[in-house]
Structure 1
Amino acid sequence: MMPGPFELIIILVIVLLLFGGKRLKNIGGDLGGAIKGFKKSMKEGENDNIDSTDTVIDAKVIKEEDKVTK
């Protein structure tokens, strides 16, 4: 069941009493900045292309036990 407008107003008043208006403003600004940064990094990630001239290096995993016995 969704809270009605009266319940939302009560929740808002309680939050304002707990955190204060200035602190809520700072939290909102920080949250907005984080979302903008996330969106910006997602757009930059889409523009990154893998260069086909990259070289592939083969690697072999050697266990510690194999090093001692050789």
Structure 2
Amino acid sequence: MGAWGIGHWLVVGVLVILLFGGARFSNMMGDVAKGIKQFKKGMAEDDDAPPPSRIEGKAAPEPAVEHEAERTAEKR
């Protein structure tokens, strides 16, 4: 009782296609597939990034950035 069988899902599928139309439903599924591909591509790009370098269990210090104001103050 309450279990959805294959017959119920077929009826739901036919109703969805009738409501949205075949072309619109096909376009929606194509957009979903493109989104999944972009997600997988983004996840693969994250895997390619090198891990941050470690020094004795701590993160490596970031290189110092000299700002324009500091350079002019030192020249005075």
Q: With structure 2 as the length reference, what TM-score do the two structures score?
A: 0.63
Task: Indicate the structure with greater strand content.
Answer: 2
Q: Which residue of 1 aligns with 2:36?
A: 35
Of the two, which has the highest radius of gyration? 2
User: Unpaired segments of 5 or more residues in structure 2?
Assistant: 54-59, 65-76
CA RMSD of aligned residues (A): 2.2
* Residue 21 of structure 1: aligned partner: 22
Deviations 1:41-60 (A, max 9, x none): 10000111245476167xxx
Unpaired segments of 5 or more residues in structure 1?
58-70
When the two structures are aligned, how many residues end up with a matched partner? 57
Structure 1: 4+ residue segments shifted above 6 A: none
TM-score norm. by structure 1 comes to 0.68
